[in-house]
Structure formats: C-alpha cells, structure tokens
C-alpha cells in the first residue's frame, strides 16, 4: 500500500509561545490539508488580548480554582484547524520541557485544566477542543485550573498546546504544536532535596607510565523533593592518604522535576595508585525566577575507584623478565667459558704427560 506522507509544516513562534514536541493526531482531529507555511501562536492573555507573559505561573491552595485566558492566533494567509488541549509536563532526556504523548491521559496538573466556552469549538476525544480559525483571526480561550482538595504540596508541571491538524486521509501525520507552559505550585510543606543515585565508576589506564589514567564517574541527580530544581555538582578524587587531589565542577543547568532525574558525568585524571577516594557534592539551585522558601542544602556521596597500576606492573614484569634473561644468559656464558677453560686445562695436562718420558 502506498503511503502518502503529510507535507511538513513550517512553524513560527510568534510572541512568547513555547514550542513542544510532536504528538500523534486523534481520529476526531480530522481536517483538510493544512496549508504549507501556516504560522500560529498561543499566548497568555487577559480576557481581551495577549498580555505579554511567558507562561501561566500560579501558586494555589489545595481545593482552590484559578481562572486564566489564552490567545490563539492564526498568522497564516488561509484558514486552519487546531486542536487545543492540556497535559502533564515532563522534561526529556535532552533537558527540554515537553508534554506527555498525545495517547496518554494526564494524571497530574494537566488533568486539572479545563476550558470555558469558545464559539464554534467542537469537543475533542481525550480532552480539549478542535476549532477552525480564519486567516489572521484571534480567539480568547477561557482556562480554569481547579486544584483537587487532596493535591500534594509542591510543583505540578503542565502545559496547554495548540496543534495544527492534518488531513484524516493522510496515513502518516506530522503533528506540530505550539504551547504555553503552566507552572503550578500547590501551597504547603515544601521540600527541596537532591540525591546521588546509580553511580558508575570506570578507570582507563594510560599506556604512558609517566602520565595519569582517566577516571570517569557518571551518576543520576535525582529530585527527591516536591519542587523543581537545578543542580551544580563538584566531583573530587585523590589517591590514598589524600595524595594528588583533583576536582571538577559540573554545571547542570537543566531543571529536574520532582520524581525525575538527570544523568551527569565527570572525567578526572587519576594516577594508578590501586585505589582513589573521593566524593560527589550536589548543590541544589532554584530554576529561573522560582522562589523556594526552604534552605537549599548540599549533599555528598563518597566514591571509591579501583585504579590498578597495570602499566607499572607490566613494566616491572618486563624488567624482571629482562633481568632474568640477562642473568640466565650470563650464567650460560660463564658456564661455557668455564667449560672451555676446564677443557683447555685438561688438554694441557694431557699434553704434559705425553712429553715427559716415563
């Protein structure tokens, strides 16, 4: 069966929108082929127009509700169809903020978001709505964030996106979405804590015995609190009794959401002194303009790296082998010389006996 690939959609972020990753389209998102070069934006707004904010940032009590607005604008020259919906926020392995895949229902902050009445909007399976927007048109979307009474304190990241929809006849859809991040912090007992987990230690010896080897220390920075954090890390290493100390700093600027982790790695020179001892120090940091009322305390984790002196042992073994071979060769040479001397002495004695008459 021949598969027709949807025409790639060029997306221009206008204003202060945030670009999210691709998500599969659903069956009720059918529309005509979107025109190539369609551009659109989704921005925080007042009840009348976009207000210049970057995101929706709210601190709320459990059980409370917040009313907000978004402005969706079709900047293209032709009509287009959009799906507008909310979902939980995640941070990808590359450090980018994104939403859950379109086929996964939100269970946290994204599930608290509902939309008010929008003229000509059609309900969308999985939440949100679909709407046709004329060229150059802007609509204001009422948004309500209703926090459950039993919501836990801390950050509950979410996002709201406007996705340009593809033709249902297309068997492979390239879905592109522009969104606004929703920063939700539920008031209560705030905890800010990072932990070092899954430490992996590797050592590679240098073939040159006059240079140090390389110790590679990789580890997860796990967020064990309930607010998003960034981290700066310092890894130190030294030989027995603290000899030849080295250290390196890792600036991990990416945010780490509660319950998530980020992989970090440090590479340090290490002399092969059998064992190297050190520690990983984590210093939590606030992300962006976040305000964290509790102290951000550093944590340390001790590490030990096996640094076998294989090169030195090999050099010593070769030296011993060379010494043994030289000694053996000298013994053999001495034995041959002694044998020659003994043979000469014996021959001389025999000759003397033959010359002297009986």
Domain boundaries, the chain: 18-186, 194-308, 309-349
Q: What percent of the chain is modeled with pLDDT above 90?
A: 63
Segment 117-131 mean pLDDT: 93
Please state, in angstroms and as integers, the Cα–Cα distance from residue 160 to each residue in 69, 114, 157, 219, 289, following that order: 11, 10, 11, 33, 21
Residues 55 and 155: beta-carbon distance below 8 Å: no
CB-side neighbour CA atoms (13 Å) of 246: 15
**Looking at residue 38, what is its pLDDT?**
80
More confident residue, 320 or 3: 320
Between 12-21, 95-104, 126-135, 259-268, the lowest mean confidence (pLDDT) is in 12-21
Confidence at 345, pLDDT banded by 50, 70, 90: confident
**Looking at residue 153, what is its pLDDT?**
97
**Looking at residue 28, what is its pLDDT?**
41
**Looking at residue 171, what is its pLDDT?**
44
More confident residue, 122 or 353: 122
- Give the tens place of pLDDT for each residue, 165-174: 875 444 444 5
- Give the tens place of pLDDT for each residue, 151-164: 999 999 999 999 99
More confident residue, 102 or 277: 277
Confidence at 347, pLDDT banded by 50, 70, 90: confident
**Looking at residue 336, what is its pLDDT?**
86
Helices (H) and strands (E) in the chain, counts: 1, 20
Segment 43-53 mean pLDDT: 96
**Looking at residue 103, what is its pLDDT?**
80
Residues 47 and 90: beta-carbon distance below 8 Å: no
Fold equal for 18-186 and 194-308: yes
More confident residue, 322 or 281: 281
Between 10-24, 49-63, 195-209, 309-323, the lowest mean confidence (pLDDT) is in 10-24
**DSSP-derived secondary structure letter, 63:** T
Confidence at 245, pLDDT banded by 50, 70, 90: very high
Quick one: which of 304, 107, 85 has its CA closest to 175? Answer: 85
- Give the tens place of pLDDT for each residue, 290-315: 999 999 999 999 999 999 887 667 77
CATH of 194-308, one of 2.70.70.10, 2.60.420.10, 2.60.40.10, 1.20.140.10: 2.60.40.10
**Looking at residue 36, what is its pLDDT?**
55
Is residue 102 classed as helix, strand or coil in its secondary structure? coil
Q: Is 86 exposed, middle or buried (0-12, 13-18, 19+ CB in 10 A)?
A: buried
Question: Could you confirm whether domain 18-186 is CATH 3.30.365.10?
Answer: no
């Amino acid at each position: 069966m021949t598969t027709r690939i949807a025409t790639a959609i060029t997306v221009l972020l206008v204003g202060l929108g945030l670009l999210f990753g691709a998500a599969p389209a659903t069956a009720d998102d059918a529309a005509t082929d979107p025109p190539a070069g369609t551009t659109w934006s989704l921005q925080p707004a007042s009840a009348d127009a976009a207000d210049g904010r970057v995101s929706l940032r709210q601190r709320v009590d459990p059980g409370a509700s917040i009313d907000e607005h978004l402005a969706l604008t079709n900047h293209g020259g032709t009509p287009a169809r959009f799906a507008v919906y909310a979902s939980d926020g995640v941070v990808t392995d590359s450090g980018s903020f994104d939403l859950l895949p379109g086929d996964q229902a939100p269970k946290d902050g994204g599930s608290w978001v509902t939309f008010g009445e929008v003229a000509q909007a059609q309900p969308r399976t999985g939440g949100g709505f679909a709407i046709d927007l004329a060229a150059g048109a802007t609509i204001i979307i009422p948004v309500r964030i209703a926090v459950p009474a039993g919501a836990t304190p801390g950050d509950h990241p979410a996002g709201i996106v406007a996705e340009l929809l593809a033709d249902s006849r297309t068997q492979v859809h390239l879905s592109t979405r522009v969104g606004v991040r929703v920063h939700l912090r539920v008031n209560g007992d705030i905890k800010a804590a990072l932990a070092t987990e899954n430490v992996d230690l590797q050592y590679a010896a240098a073939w040159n015995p006059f240079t140090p080897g390389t110790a590679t220390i990789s580890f997860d920075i796990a967020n064990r609190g309930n607010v998003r954090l960034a981290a700066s890390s310092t890894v130190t290493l030294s030989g027995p009794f603290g000899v030849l100390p080295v250290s390196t700093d890792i600036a991990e600027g990416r945010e780490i959401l509660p319950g998530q982790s980020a992989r970090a790695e440090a590479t340090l020179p290490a002399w092969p002194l059998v064992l190297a001892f050190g520690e990983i120090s984590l210093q939590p940091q606030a992300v962006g303009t976040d305000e964290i009322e509790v102290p951000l305390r550093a944590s340390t984790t001790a590490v030990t790296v096996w640094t076998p002196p294989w090169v030195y042992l090999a050099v010593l073994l070769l030296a011993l082998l060379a010494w043994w071979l030289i000694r053996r060769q000298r013994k053999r040479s001495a034995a041959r010389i002694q044998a020659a001397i003994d043979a000469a002495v014996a021959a001389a004695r025999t000759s003397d006996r033959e010359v002297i008459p009986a």
